[in-house]
Chains A and B, each alone.
Chain A
C-alpha cells in the first residue's frame, strides 16, 4: 500500500537495503570515474593513461591539506561541498540498475528533477562559503544559467512522462519496448543532455567555473572539498547519462546481449558522445544563454511535448 514501505520491485526489496545502497553508490562512483577519465582522455589525448591520471589527481586531492580563506562561512561552505556528490548519488537512486531502481515512487522523474534543483542551492553555497568574489560570481552564474535551462529540462522530462503515461522510471523503460523514445522525442533528448552538462556546469556550460573568473565556484576549493565537488559533478554527469539511457534509449533493452550489458554499452556511449561533443563547443556566456533558453529551447520543448501528446492521443505508443 505505502510507497515508502519499499514496494516490491525496487533493488532495495530485491537485494536488501544495504547491498542496494552500496551498489548504487559503487555504480555512481564508477560512472563518475568513467566521465572524469573520458574527459581527461579527450582533453589531453593521452588515451588509457587518462584513467591512471584521474586516480592520481583524485588521490592527491584526498591527501592534500585544505587551505582556507579569510572569514569563510565554513558551515554553509562544507554543507554545499558535501551536498554536491550526495545529490548526484541520490539522483541515481531512481535510475534503473539491473532493471531495478533503489527508490521507486509514482514520481521518479520529479525526484530526479528535484535533486538537480537542490543542487542550485548547493552550488550557490559552494560559491558563497569562501567569502571570495570570484567564487560568489561563479555561484551567481550558475543560478542565471539555471534559470535558462530549468524550464526546458522540465518540459523534456514532462514529455517523457506523457509518452510513458507514468513518472516511474521502470514504467518509462517498459513503455519503450517497441520503440525507443529518442525516435519521437529527439528535441527532449538533446535538451536533456544539454541540461545535464549545464547542471554539472561542465563543457559549454562551464562558465560558473570559468577560467575568466579564476575557476569561479571552484576557485577557493582545495583538498577534499575540491574532490567532493569535482567528483560530484562527474557523478551527476554520469547519472544523467544513465538516466538518458533509461528515458530515451530503451534502458536495458537490446538483442543477444544480457540487459545490464546493453545498459552499460548505451551509457558509455552517451558519456563518450557528451564528452566528445561537449569539448567541441565553446563555453556559452550565461547572459547570452538566457535568450537562447527562453526564445528557442522553451518553444522547441513545448512543441515537442505537444507532438508527443498528440501521438499519445492517437494511440501511437499503444
Chain B
C-alpha cells in the first residue's frame, strides 16, 4: 500500500498533478504575457486542489488566495515593465532555450527520482481531526520563533525593495530642508493632510 489516502484522493492528486505540470509547460509555450501568467495561476490552483485532496483545507484555500493575488499583481508589474506596456505583442518566456531546458529537465528528473526512491519514514500518530487547528497551534506555538523571523525578514525585504525602487525620497517630498508642511506628491492621497 503506497498511501492511506482513499482512492478518489489518489486519483485527484494524479489528475491535478498532471494538470499542474501541463499548465506549467504552457507558461513557456504561449506567446502572450497574460496567457503565461494565467497558465501559471492554473498550475498553482491545481496544487491548491491537491492540498484539498490531502485534506488540508486551510493550506489549500490560502494557496489559492495568495497565488491568485500574486499572479494578478505580477500581471500588472510584468506588463508595466515590459517594452510594450499593453503586453499585446507576441513574446516568449524562454531565454537561453537549450541551457534552461537542460536545467529544467535535470531538476525534474533529480526530484522525481529522489521522491520515488527515498525511504520515506512512516507516519507517527494519526491524521488530526482538524488540520487547521493543528496548523494554527504549530504556528502560534512550537514554530512561533521561525514564523516571526520569517515575517520580519519578509517585511524588511518589502520595505527595502520599495526604498530601492522609488526614485523619490523625503527630500523630494518635503524639500531640501525637510520643512514643508505638506508633502509634494505626484498623486494626492485620499486623506486631508
Q: Does B34 reach chain A (CB closer than 8 Å)?
A: yes
Contacts of B66 in A (CB 8 A): 117
Main SS of the interface on chain B? helix
1/0 per residue, CB under 8 A from B, across A101-117: the answer is 00001110011011001
Selected interface stretch from B102-110, B124-132, B158-166, B170-178:
B124-132
1/0 per residue, CB under 8 A from A, across B161-193: the answer is 000000000000000000000000001111100
Ordered by A's residue number, 20 sampled pairs between the chains whose C-beta atoms are within 8 Å are A5-B6, A73-B34, A106-B131, A106-B132, A107-B62, A110-B57, A110-B62, A111-B57, A113-B61, A118-B65, A120-B69, A121-B41, A121-B68, A124-B72, A124-B75, A125-B34, A136-B86, A146-B69, A147-B73, A290-B190
1/0 per residue, CB under 8 A from A, across B62-84: the answer is 10111011011101100000000
- Total A-B residue contacts, Cβ distance less than 8 Å: 104
Once the chains bind, are A4 and B127 in contact (CB under 8 Å)? no
Chain A: number of interface residues, binned into ranges: 35 or more
Instruction: Please name the 3 residue pairs, one residue from A and one from B, whose CB atoms are nearest each other, closest first.
Output: A288-B190, A291-B189, A105-B57
Once the chains bind, are A114 and B132 in contact (CB under 8 Å)? no
Contacts of B64 in A (CB 8 A): 114, 117-118
Once the chains bind, are B73 and A111 in contact (CB under 8 Å)? no
Q: How far is the CB of A94 from chain B (nearest CB, A)?
A: 10
Contacts of B65 in A (CB 8 A): 110, 113-114, 117-118
Partner-A contacts on B (CB < 8 A): 6, 9, 32, 34-35, 38, 41, 45, 52-53, 55, 57-58, 60-62, 64-66, 68-69, 71-73, 75-76, 86, 88, 127, 129-133, 187-191
Q: Does A225 reach chain B (CB closer than 8 Å)?
A: no
Contacts of B68 in A (CB 8 A): 114, 117-118, 120-121
Contacts of B58 in A (CB 8 A): 106-107, 110, 167
Bound-state CA distance A145–B33 (Å) is 22
Once the chains bind, are A121 and B57 in contact (CB under 8 Å)? no
Q: A2-B6, A3-B57, A288-B188 are in contact. Are A106 and B130 (CB under 8 A)?
A: yes
